[in-house]
């Protein structure tokens, strides 16, 4: 008499878990995008008019 | 039957794996209500600082201070999950509720703490970044890990962490630590003990159950009421400091004096309360008023710098 093997779930995350994960990933992507914009605008502001005086 | 066993297996596995927290849970880790006070006091520090700061740089400074404060909240909830689980006020926080694993809260808090300090240092200035790093360290290590479980003076010394934000913002705008920023620091520092001890009076059972040595369950309620009164009296001269350092003017002087006398009146009522029921009721009132007091006093500084002083200068 073999004992039945324990059931291993095919998908460990429920659809709700996956939906939450997607929302978290989207929020993280938006956050990173905003960080890029933050650095870009700040660079322009810090350089100021100096950006026009660079050697070409 | 099969479906049920599958569900149980899935639930236990996902709980171990984590990844259960929603965006709202992560937002709750940042302690948004505390963050709103930090942002407001930061804006006051930024506006009251001498010199001119570009609005965009000012915005980044406040954003970094807000995220740094949120990081401190997340790290606090990671470390204090055991205490939070037994206190009624905090039992529904994401970590004790099981929505977010302690390791996830730790990772989230560390990432935000390091990120906010780095961005502030790179985009604004190093002094403000160093102060923000120290603030986070002070709140998480000195207050949460050490003082909170060790001494009933926890919130007196730990109160410094909540008082630093205007100083960080001031440093972001002016690049210095001046008497004016120290005055704003002291304002919040001396406000913290009566604010939290009022809360501790009507939540005494909660703190005792969690084994947190707050003043009422260590030194007793009469001593707590006395200490609340002492710190409320001390608030009067401390409230005058922004005036003496030139950070605030006469509108502030009149408004802050009236607000602080009312604070003292509330504290005297708590001190004189004869029954436990009256103590709890009046302590709740003092707690609510103390929040209004801090917002109003800081708003007076903000008003003077944003509207009154520019208007005054325009006429002379």
CB-based contacts of B240, cutoff 8 Å, min separation 6? B253, B256
- Which residues of A sit within 8 Å Cβ distance of B? 6-9, 11-14, 17, 20-21, 23-24, 27, 35, 38-39, 41-42, 45-46
**Nearest Cα to B198, choosing from B277, B285, B112, B114?**
B285
Tell me the residue length of chain A: 56
Chain A residue closest in CA terms to B22: A20
Per-residue pLDDT, A54: 65
Per-residue pLDDT, B17: 65
What ipTM was predicted for this assembly?
Answer: 0.73
B105 close to A (CB below 8 A): no
B48, pLDDT greater than 80 = yes
**Mean of the pLDDT values across residues B48-63?**
93
In tens, the pLDDT along B247-260 reads 998 999 999 999 99
Per-residue pLDDT, B230: 97
- Cβ pair B207, B258 in contact under 8 A: no
B123 close to A (CB below 8 A): yes
pLDDT band for position B14 (50/70/90)? low
Chain B residue closest in CA terms to A26: B23
Residues of B in contact with A49 (CB under 8 A): none
B147, pLDDT greater than 80 = yes
Residue position matching structure tokens 């962490």 = B161
B36 close to A (CB below 8 A): no
Largest CA distance in chain B: 84
Could B10 and A42 be called an inter-chain contact, meaning their C-beta atoms sit closer than 8 Å? no
- Cβ pair B229, B267 in contact under 8 A: yes
A9, pLDDT greater than 50 = yes
Per-residue pLDDT, A48: 77
pLDDT band for position B9 (50/70/90)? very low
The interaxial angle of helices B250-272 and B276-303, nearest 10 deg, is: 170
Token readout for B263 is: 């604070």
Q: How far apart are CA B174 and CA B245, in angstroms?
A: 15
Per-residue pLDDT, A47: 82
Q: What is the DSSP letter of B149?
A: T
A8, pLDDT greater than 80 = no
Could A13 and B54 be called an inter-chain contact, meaning their C-beta atoms sit closer than 8 Å? no
User: Taking the model in full, what pTM does it have?
Assistant: 0.87
Residues of B in contact with A23 (CB under 8 A): 22-23
DSSP 3-state of B53: coil
Return mean pLDDT, chain B.
91
Could A9 and B13 be called an inter-chain contact, meaning their C-beta atoms sit closer than 8 Å? yes
B312, pLDDT greater than 70 = no
Distance of residue B13 Cα from the nearest chain A Cα, in angstroms: 6
Percent of chain B with pLDDT over 90: 81
pLDDT band for position A2 (50/70/90)? low
In tens, the pLDDT along B150-198 reads 999 999 998 899 999 999 999 999 999 999 999 999 999 999 999 999 9
Q: How far apart are CA B195 and CA A8, in angstroms?
A: 53
Q: Which of A10, A11, A42, A46 to mutate to test the interface with B (most CBs of B within 10 A)?
A: A42
**Mean of the pLDDT values across residues B226-242?**
96
For chain B, give me the number of helices (H) and strands (E)? 17, 0
Distances (CA, A) of B69 to B34, B106, B133, B250: 8, 14, 10, 32
- Cβ pair B32, B291 in contact under 8 A: no
B315, pLDDT greater than 80 = no
- The more confidently predicted of residues B204 and B41 is B41
Could B23 and A24 be called an inter-chain contact, meaning their C-beta atoms sit closer than 8 Å? yes
- The more confidently predicted of residues B101 and B313 is B101
In tens, the pLDDT along B286-301 reads 999 999 999 999 999 9
**Nearest Cα to B76, choosing from B16, B135, B24?**
B135
B245, pLDDT greater than 50 = yes
CB-based contacts of B12, cutoff 8 Å, min separation 6? none
Following DSSP, what letter does each residue of B115-180 receive, concatenated?
Answer: HHHHHHHHHT-HHHHHHHHHHHHIIIIIIIIIITTT-TTHHHHHHHHHHSHHHHHHHHHHSS--HH
Could A38 and B9 be called an inter-chain contact, meaning their C-beta atoms sit closer than 8 Å? no
Largest CA distance in chain A: 86
Chain B residue closest in CA terms to A20: B22
């Amino acid at each position: 008499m073999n004992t039945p093997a324990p059931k291993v779930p095919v998908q460990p995350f429920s659809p709700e878990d996956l939906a939450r994960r997607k929302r978290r990933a989207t929020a993280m992507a938006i956050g990173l995008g905003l960080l890029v914009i933050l650095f870009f605008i700040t660079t322009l502001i810090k350089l100021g008019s100096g950006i026009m005086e660079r050697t070409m | 039957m099969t479906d049920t066993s599958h569900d149980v297996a899935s639930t236990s596995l996902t709980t171990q794996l984590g990844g259960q927290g929603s965006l709202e849970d992560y937002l709750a880790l940042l302690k948004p209500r505390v963050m709103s006070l930090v942002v407001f006091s930061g804006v006051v520090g930024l506006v009251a600082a001498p010199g001119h700061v570009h609005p965009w740089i000012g915005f980044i400074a406040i954003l970094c201070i807000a995220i740094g404060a949120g990081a401190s909240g997340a790290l606090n909830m990671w470390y204090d999950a055991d205490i939070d689980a037994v206190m009624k006020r905090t039992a529904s926080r994401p970590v004790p509720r099981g929505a977010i694993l302690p390791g996830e809260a730790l990772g989230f808090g560390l990432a935000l703490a390091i990120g906010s300090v780095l961005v502030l240092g790179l985009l604004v200035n190093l002094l403000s970044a160093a102060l923000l790093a120290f603030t986070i360290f002070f709140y998480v290590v000195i207050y949460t890990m050490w003082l909170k479980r060790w001494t009933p003076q926890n919130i007196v010394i730990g109160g410094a962490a909540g008082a630093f934000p205007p100083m960080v913002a001031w440093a972001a705008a002016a690049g210095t630590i001046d008497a004016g920023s120290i005055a704003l620091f002291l304002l919040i520092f001396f406000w913290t003990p009566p604010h939290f001890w009022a809360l501790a009076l009507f939540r005494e059972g909660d703190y005792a159950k969690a084994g947190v040595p707050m003043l009422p369950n260590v030194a007793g309620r009469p001593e707590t009421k006395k200490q609340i009164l002492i710190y409320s009296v001390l608030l009067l001269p401390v409230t005058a400091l922004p005036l003496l350092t030139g950070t605030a003017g006469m509108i502030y002087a009149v408004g802050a004096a009236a607000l602080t006398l009312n604070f003292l009146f509330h504290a005297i009522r708590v001190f004189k309360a004869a029954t436990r029921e009256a103590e709890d009721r009046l302590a709740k009132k003092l707690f609510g008023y103390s929040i209004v007091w801090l917002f109003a006093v800081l708003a007076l500084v903000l008003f003077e710098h944003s509207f009154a002083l520019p208007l005054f200068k325009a006429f002379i």
